[in-house]
Amino acid sequence: MIDSTSRINSLRYLPKTRQYLIETLGAVEMMGYNKLADNTMVNMVPFLTGDYYENQPCLKSKHGVDNCTFIWQNYSQSGYLTHLGEDWPWAGTFHYSLKGFKRQPTDYDDRPFHVANEKGSKWMTDTCFHGKSSSETLHQRIYDLAYNLRNKRYFSLSTHSIMTHNYLEALRNIDNMTLNTFKKLYENNLLNNTFLAFFGDHGMRFGKVRMTFIGQLEERLPMMFIYVPQWFKTKYIGFFNNLKTNSRRLTTHFDMFSTLQHLLNLENERTHKYGKSLFREIPRERTCEDAGIRPHWCTCNYHLSATDNSTTRNNLASIFIQHLNTLLKNHTHKCSKLTLKSIISSIKLLSRQIEYIEHRVVIEAEPGDGIFEATLRCDRNCSTYNVKGDVSRVNKYGTSTNCVKDNTLRKICHCINTAKR
């Protein structure tokens, strides 16, 4: 997994890797792959468990996430060796806002190495080992693991965050590195019996590009390439044809979970609440609601929009700021009350739905100059509006939210002690 990498940004900055995946490996690119939530953790949870973060109390335990069931455990029960590696342990998927694992989660766990290697580094990009960056170390680990386990069954998840998390353009720095890793794997026959997914958790969530129309789309449409070996394409031609068909259908991390489950038993596919195996044809008319995508993250309405008039803009912005303060109501001793500083944009999303109307609103709040984005919905009479689903924070907030640990409130709260400085 490559952190903060959209399909569109891969077109900009991974040209060599993309060409090799498509032309040499024959990988399938999922062009309608839509994220499900805001950041890494809440997107990877559906990928690894098949359910939303909010529906799993085990993830919120102060004793760690060891009691949760992850996809690698299903593989372990089927006789696979398992591996987990993340190159940025401080901001690990299950360690940044959660309590992490108290026991080793997989047969091979790279976290102890990266924790030790990170000590003494002033900043994440300073992290090196024997003259190699953490990114190079991660890629070498991917190859070494595949080589050493070439005669065994294994499940491996490697997460690449350090190089790509903060800067849109930084993705270019791993193009040659990733290309060379795929070349070595392929040319040494290490992909002959391997299912490979090369993907992003979401697109870039902050920055100038994120403030544009295309940036809103990019954030919601992560990169996803899927490789299956040639013999699979021949033996299971129906499955492979469905995968190619689905490359232009609406798909999500839920579907990847279902696909990974399907791979464990191709003859007896399990059904799941939200996802559908990508080896089964996804309906052309699939909606965001069908796919488990909440309104704020749905990209299906973006092709048509109209700017709201000033009265509507002011009304929506007022409702939005009230919503933010309602979220903070139990933390008023820590978090400043937010007030509206400016309305950046307010557009009406023109949809085929006749039951309701949706607006995408972006405001700036003070103190802290936080820029927030939300989707507000009303029925056809528009007597009342409600914020639907999550709220996006589209500029960085640094340490100004450190007084709260809640995954949702962290991006909204502006700590009182910060405001007084």
pLDDT at position 123 over 60: no
Same domain, 220 and 351: no
**Within-domain flag for 1:** no
Rounded Cα distance, 137 and 232, in Å = 31
**pLDDT > 60? residue 420:** no
pLDDT bracket for residue 402 (50, 70, 90): confident
* Same domain, yes or no: 275 and 331: no
Per-chain mean pLDDT for the chain: 92
For residue 303, the model assigns a pLDDT of 52
Encode pLDDT of 88-112 as tens digits. Answer: 888 899 998 899 999 999 999 999 9
Q: Which of 21-25, 48-52, 342-346, 398-402 has the lowest mean pLDDT?
A: 398-402
Residue 87's Cβ-side half-sphere holds a number of Cα atoms within 13 Å equal to 28
- Determine contact, residues 100/64, Cβ cutoff 8 Å: yes
What pLDDT is attached to residue 23?
99
Given a cut of 60, whether residue 169 has pLDDT beyond it is yes
* Six-digit token string for 271: 């059904």
- As a whole number of angstroms, the distance between CA 70 and CA 81 comes to 14
Which burial class, exposed, middle or buried, applies to 195 when counting CB atoms under 10 A from its CB (0-12, 13-18, 19+)? middle
Looking at the structure, tell me whether residues 67 and 179 fall in a common domain: yes
Q: Convert the pLDDT of each residue in 231-255 to its tens digit.
A: 999 999 999 999 999 999 999 999 9
Task: Tell me which of 70 and 377 has the higher pLDDT.
Answer: 70
pLDDT at residue 125 is higher than 60? no
What is the domain-level CATH number for residue 404?
3.10.450
Within 10 angstroms of residue 78's Cβ, the number of other Cβ atoms is: 12
Please give the structure tokens belonging to residue 220. 């919601």
Of 276, 297, 318, which residue constitutes the final position of a domain? 297
| CATH number (domain holding residue 160) | 3.40.720.10
For residues 350 and 245, membership in a common domain is answered with no
Give the pLDDT score at 121.
Answer: 62
Per DSSP, the three-state class of 178 is helix
Cα distance between residue 318 and residue 293, in whole Å: 26
Minimum mean pLDDT among 52-66, 283-297, 335-349, 371-385: which range?
Answer: 371-385
Distance CA 282, CA 291 (A): 10
The number of distinct structural domains making up the chain is 2
Q: Is 93:40 a contact under the CB 8 Å cutoff?
A: yes
Region 366-376: what's the mean pLDDT? 95
Rounded CA separation 196/47 (Å): 14
Q: Is residue 331 part of a domain?
A: yes
In a domain? residue 145 = yes
Q: Check whether residue 23 and residue 166 sit in a common domain.
A: yes
Q: In the predicted model, is pLDDT for residue 116 greater than 90?
A: no
Cβ-Cβ contacts under 8 Å for 66 (sequence gap 6 or more): 101, 102, 103, 105
When pLDDT is averaged across residues 395-408 and rounded to a whole number, the result is: 84
381/356 Cα distance (integer angstroms): 9
First-to-final CA distance of the chain: 39
Q: How would DSSP label each residue in 98-145?
A: S---SS--SSEE-HHHHHHHHTT-SSGGG-EETTEEHHHHHHHHHHHH
Higher pLDDT, 354 or 275: 275
Residue ending a domain, choose from 243, 268, 297: 297
Alpha-carbon distance of 246 to 185, in angstroms, equals: 26
Please tell me whether residues 343 and 253 are part of one structural domain: no
125 plus 270 within the same structural domain:
yes
Query: How large a percentage of the chain has pLDDT more than 70?
Result: 94
**Which of these three, 238, 271, 297, is where a domain ends?**
297
More confident site: 125 or 118 = 118
SS3 29: strand
pTM for the structure as a whole: 0.93
Higher-pLDDT residue of 348 and 421 is 348
Span 304-309, average pLDDT = 68
pLDDT band of residue 300 (cuts 50, 70, 90) is confident
Say which residue, 276 or 379, is predicted with more confidence. 276
Nearest of 123, 103, 102, 122 to residue 166 by alpha carbon: 123
In terms of phi and psi (left: phi > 0; alpha: psi -120 to 50; beta: otherwise), the region of 350 is beta
3-state helix, strand, coil in the chain (%, to 5): 40, 20, 45
Range of the domain at 315: 305-419
